[in-house]
Amino acid sequence: MKKIRIFIPVATFEPLSIIKKSLISQQKLIISDLDVKLIYIVDCPDGADERIQYLQNENIENICRLDTRGRRAGAINDGLQSIRKPDGTLNADYIALFDVDSRPDPDFLLQCTSVLKRDSNSVIASGVRYIINKDSGWVAGSIAAEYTFFEDVYRLSEKYDGFKQFNGLIGVIKAHAFDDMQLNEQVYCEDLDFTQNIYISGKKPVLAETKVGEQAPTTIKEVYNQRVRWMSGSLEGLAQNIISFPRAQIPITRRIAWFISMTLPFVAFILMPFVLIYSLRLWAKGHDHVIIKTSGLLFHVWLITFCGAVAIKNRLFNKKTIWAQSKRTDI
């Protein structure tokens, strides 16, 4: 029986209500013949709070972190350390990572482990993403439209062996990927750092036929803060791997796709004509308020371009990009 350990980091600002919704979602997962253990890793710098008490009352395993070291990456590393054996390997076959707002399809674990078993060259598997709070205003609705585009990108990357990055490493990872190693807590985007290292090593992520929902920011300020950090992570990834990635012994399609993925967002405004054409795709996929969402996407490409410029400025002047929280919708 294969062992899966599910880690769900919970930041200081995440309310108890969202943990309750998360637990309901996790309990719907089909585990079949898998040995699954769910572990919430909760940041509690002021000591154990009502969230820890709730998890204990529900007999859900948890780790109470008395600091916020490394934020999400630090929380995952603490979770990995809790199941690490003396020889540095993990007491698990797979590690599943979710955020507290993740809403995976019931078959998520089964589909991801299935594709990982079929492809010996794979390290992480996940499904396409969708927005669960798309009705929380035009900002979230526009990001829902953006995620439709990302779904198409995922499928094209899978078909043509391109570069795929599953944001937040939401998915299922072969446990041996963490043998004697942990996530880099010093970078802006630990998920991008991990993914690039996977590709450079000759391995790859794979797409499973399943889905996982997540919440989108609901204000322009939240989107701005999120995207500046992501763009700062892209700059960091380019600086660290601009030599090693092109030289990696991997197909040229992956190397080209990596470079495009890292650089295109900085000139996202050039996609404006494509956005207008893509509105037909949104209509075909059943999106409502297509005109509003298309207008939101047109604004979005300019916002991303601006966020890229801010990230470049911050790097040139050695200014640290600050991580900022996003408000959760209680769903």
Instruction: Give the per-residue pLDDT at 20.
Output: 97
The contacts of residue 23 (CB under 8 Å, 6+ apart) are 58, 60
Average pLDDT over residues 235-248: 94
Q: How far is CA 152 from the centre of its chain?
A: 17
CATH number of the domain to which 26 belongs:
3.90.550.10
Task: Report in angstroms the alpha-carbon separations of 20 from 25, 112, 132, 136, 256.
Answer: 9, 24, 16, 20, 42
- Number of compact structural domains in the chain: 1
Average predicted confidence (pLDDT) for the chain: 94
- Could you tell me the pTM of the whole model? 0.94
Which of 229-243, 280-294, 306-320 is the least confident region?
280-294
For 160-214, the pLDDT digits (tens) are: 989 999 999 999 999 999 998 999 999 999 999 999 999 999 999 999 999 999 9
In a domain, 8, yes or no: yes
* pLDDT-based confidence at residue 288 (cuts at 50, 70, 90): confident
Q: Does any domain span residue 324?
A: no
**Is 293 within a domain?**
yes
Neighbouring CB atoms inside 10 A of 105's CB total 19
Rounded average pLDDT over 296-310: 94
pLDDT over 80 at 330, yes or no: no
Q: Is residue 328 part of a domain?
A: no
How many other CB atoms are found less than 10 A from the CB of residue 213?
Answer: 18
Query: Which of these ranges, 83-97, 142-156, 258-272, 281-295, has the smallest mean pLDDT?
Result: 281-295
pLDDT at 323: 77
Residue 325: inside a domain: no
Residue 253, in any domain of the structure: yes
Neighbours of 265 (CB within 10 A): 19
In a domain, 193, yes or no: yes
pLDDT, mean of residues 268-275: 94
CA distance 195 to 181: 14
Residue 323 lies in a domain: no
Q: What is the pLDDT of residue 81?
A: 97
Quote the pLDDT of residue 235: 95
C-beta separation of 97 from 79 below 8 A: no
For position 321, what pLDDT does the model report? 83
Give the tokens for residue 113: 């482990």
* DSSP 3-state of 213: strand
Q: What is the pLDDT of residue 209?
A: 97
Distance of CA 42 to the CA centre of its chain: 18
Position 2 scores a pLDDT of: 95
**Predicted confidence band of residue 325 (pLDDT cuts 50, 70, 90):** confident
Dig out the tokens for 278 from the structure.
């893509």
Burial class (CB in 10 A: 0-12, 13-18, 19+), 13: exposed
Q: At what angle do helices 290-316 and 138-159 cross, to 10 degrees?
A: 80
- Pairwise CA distance, residues 165 & 196, whole Å: 9
Helical H runs in the chain?
Answer: 16-26, 50-57, 71-82, 108-118, 138-159, 190-200, 220-241, 244-247, 252-263, 272-284, 290-316
- pLDDT tens digits, one per residue of 117-146: 999 999 999 999 999 999 999 999 999 999
- Average pLDDT on 2-13 reads 96
Beta bridge partners of 7: 39, 97
Read off the pLDDT of each residue in 210-228 and give the average, rounded to a whole number: 95
Torsion, Cα 228 233 239 245, to 10 degrees, reads -140
Mean pLDDT to the nearest integer, 152-159? 92
Query: CA separation (Å) from 49 to 10, 44, 304?
Result: 12, 7, 37
Domain of residue 93, residue span: 3-316
Q: What is the DSSP letter of 264?
A: G
In the beta sheet, which residues pair with residue 38?
A: 6
Position 292 confidence tier, pLDDT thresholds 50, 70, 90: confident
pLDDT digit string, tens, across residues 48-69: 999 999 999 999 999 999 999 9
* Sheet containing 171-174: order of strands: 61-65, 35-43, 3-10, 94-97, 171-174, 122-131, 204-214, 103-104
Q: Which residue has the higher pLDDT, 290 or 229?
A: 229
